[in-house]
Structure 1
């Protein structure tokens, strides 16, 4: 019984953060895309992790693949102006938006003149709330990290706009 209580204490913060991340993904997907743009709803990656080197804060990250006739700057400007509500709580209340072409595929246009791009939303400054993915120090003293955690490298969210740095992500809705 105490083991189940211990597991609940460790997993409930994960579930709370994952629920908040799913809510942000829903708000993004329910927002109309830019003109001449299609959002690939099956290709949504999200993760929760430590904000840079600050072991007391969580950062939420979502990545969406879009195909568009617009430039990167136009897509970025559209989503920066969009009124997508950030994650509630103790965060900064500002969504950071990055847009780039996929480093895995050379830039090319499809038959409709659209180019694939990655749109990334980040919302940081949230309390870690005992979530081991966010560096909860008391949790880490009692729990060995699982290989499924998002923490495959020390700074999971410090990504260049080119997006060439490897990362692990959690598939939403799985």
Structure 2
């Protein structure tokens, strides 16, 4: 009787474990890609006379079609807010030649400039973005 219950339990549990792994392996893979992407963004040196305005509060996002549009794409975005004494032109020069590897290709960098902050200096939001076609992660379908 024990053998029968053991076989029955295995017949129920094995498909559930298989389904769990089928769903979670792509999610774990994309989480690792996002973490590696985030580390590469942070490893890229900041421009001179520039500091991270909110080092403990960075926006790291993964999801479907973050840059709008249609289709099933997995998108990765890291957003940093910087405080700088440099001009927008100097910031552009620093990031125009930047190479940050994305999850699969070279990441795109977008800069958004704001007025002077209350602590002085100019603010710039640096968005580093990458995308790839859907490859099994349910969050991008």
TM superposition score category, shorter chain reference: 0.7 to 0.9
Give the gaps of 5 or more residues in structure 2: 1-12
Which secondary structure does the structure 1 equivalent of 2:103 belong to? Answer: coil
Look up the match of 1:114.
Answer: 121
Q: Which has the larger radius of gyration?
A: 2
**TM-score of the aligned structures, taking structure 2 as reference length:** 0.74
Which secondary structure does the structure 2 equivalent of 1:18 belong to? Answer: helix
Count of residues in correspondence between the two structures = 124
Counterpart of 2:70 (choices 50, 53, 56) is 53
Which secondary structure does the structure 2 equivalent of 1:33 belong to? Answer: coil
What root-mean-square deviation, in Å, do the aligned CA atoms of Structure 1 and Structure 2 show? Answer: 2.1
Aligned mates of 1:11, 1:5 — CA distance in 2: 10
Counterpart of 2:95 (choices 79, 104, 118) is 79
**TM-score of the aligned structures, taking structure 1 as reference length:** 0.61
> Offset at 1:70?
2.1
Structure 2 counterparts to residues 21-60 of structure 1, below 5 A: 21-39=34-52, 40-51=54-65, 52-55=69-72, 57-60=73-76
